[in-house]
Amino acid sequence: MSSEYDASEADADAVSSRTDPGVRKTPAGQATGPDTDTILQTERLTKRFGGLTAIDSVDFGIDEGELRCLIGPNGAGKSTMLKLVTGRHEATEGRIYYDGIDVTELSSHERVRRGIGIKFQAPSVFDSLSAAENVRLPLQRTGDGDLSEPIAEALDRVGLLDERETPASDLSHGQQQRLEIGMAAALSPSLLLLDEPVAGLSIEEREEIATLVTELNEEGMTLIVIEHDIDFVDRIADRVTVLNQGSIFREGDIDEIRADEEVREIYLGET
């Protein structure tokens, strides 16, 4: 499990309090611009927590329209990687380019505005609020007026329209996960990051999430999904990136990754 103590929040605050967003185009930034398929590219991205290097000089790229799975053993740096992309963590070194610009210094809020969405590993729905009230929260950050139509659309997208008045606490675990994905997808991000969307779910609930994630991708959303369940990864992924000890260990399609003996050793616990 990810550590979620104050350092991450402090980082987010530090980033969001900046007044100069530091947006600038650089040659590497142009690598994510209109003349290329690459929507996200990191360059020697590094995150240290005190003496611990959680992400170690990583160059990670993903094409627009891809559905990429990020796998690796516990503590490999997967969640940290996503939090760096969203701005919840501030990079220690390196750059992050997204859709043609350098977003390294941008606040989380600004990155959301530019089309980066995330569903965190830790639950973020409000139990006492209904499904509709939960979906309203991200929508009212950017829009005002009558939100009933976008709320209905967002709930419909994740199959929860009939549960719109149900308090989140009364939803099943699978429905809560779908609600969280609905909240992250409500603003129609270009890039959606999902941290362990099927953890603790039944086989049927996993299948529902697999279908939902695949549909979002078919609608044109680019997705990065962290997942431990290799069968789920097999079900959804185009390509797979294996992280280990803060570095990219392998990248390839799922069949190559499953057949790779060293990956099996570090990730699947097989010899």
Ligand X SMILES: Nc1ncnc2c1ncn2[C@@H]1O[C@H](COP(=O)(O)OP(=O)(O)OP(=O)(O)O)[C@@H](O)[C@H]1O
263 lines the binding site for ligand X (CB under 6 A) = no
Give the residue with the Cβ less far from ligand X, 76 or 183.
76
- For residues 140 and 125, give the distance between their C-alpha atoms in angstroms, rounded to a whole number: 15
Give the residue with the Cβ less far from ligand X, 3 or 211.
3
Binder among 80, 130, 241, 244 for ligand X (CB under 6 A): 80
Helix and strand numbers, DSSP H then E, in the chain: 11, 11
CB 238 within 8 A of CB 253: yes
CB of 118 to ligand X, least distance (A): 13
Task: Using CA atoms of 212, 143, 12, 188 in order, give the dihedral in degrees to the nearest 10.
Answer: 20
Question: What number of chain residues touch ligand X (CB under 6 A)?
Answer: 17
Give the residue with the Cβ less far from ligand X, 14 or 215.
14
Do the strands 191-195 and 93-98 form a parallel or antiparallel pair, or are they unpaired? unpaired
Binder among 16, 21, 31, 49 for ligand X (CB under 6 A): 49
75 lines the binding site for ligand X (CB under 6 A) = yes
Give the residue with the Cβ less far from ligand X, 2 or 108.
2
Give the residue with the Cβ less far from ligand X, 1 or 259.
1
CB 122 within 8 A of CB 82: no
Radius of gyration for the chain, computed over Cα atoms and rounded to the nearest angstrom = 18
Q: Is the dihedral of CA 182, 183, 184, 186 positive or negative?
A: positive
Burial-class residue 106 by CB neighbours within 10 Å (0-12, 13-18, 19+).
buried
Give the residue with the Cβ less far from ligand X, 52 or 259.
52
Which amino acid is residue 95, in one-letter code? Answer: R
Burial-class residue 1 by CB neighbours within 10 Å (0-12, 13-18, 19+).
exposed
174 lines the binding site for ligand X (CB under 6 A) = no
Binder among 76, 85, 183, 194 for ligand X (CB under 6 A): 76
Binder among 29, 61, 72, 94 for ligand X (CB under 6 A): 72
CB of 3 to ligand X, least distance (A): 4
86 lines the binding site for ligand X (CB under 6 A) = no
3 lines the binding site for ligand X (CB under 6 A) = yes
Which amino acid is residue 114, in one-letter code? Answer: R
Give the residue with the Cβ less far from ligand X, 187 or 267.
267
- For residues 112 and 209, give the distance between their C-alpha atoms in angstroms, rounded to a whole number: 23
Binder among 77, 87, 94, 117 for ligand X (CB under 6 A): 77
* Interface positions with ligand X (CB under 6 A): 1-3, 5, 7-8, 49, 52, 54, 72, 74-80
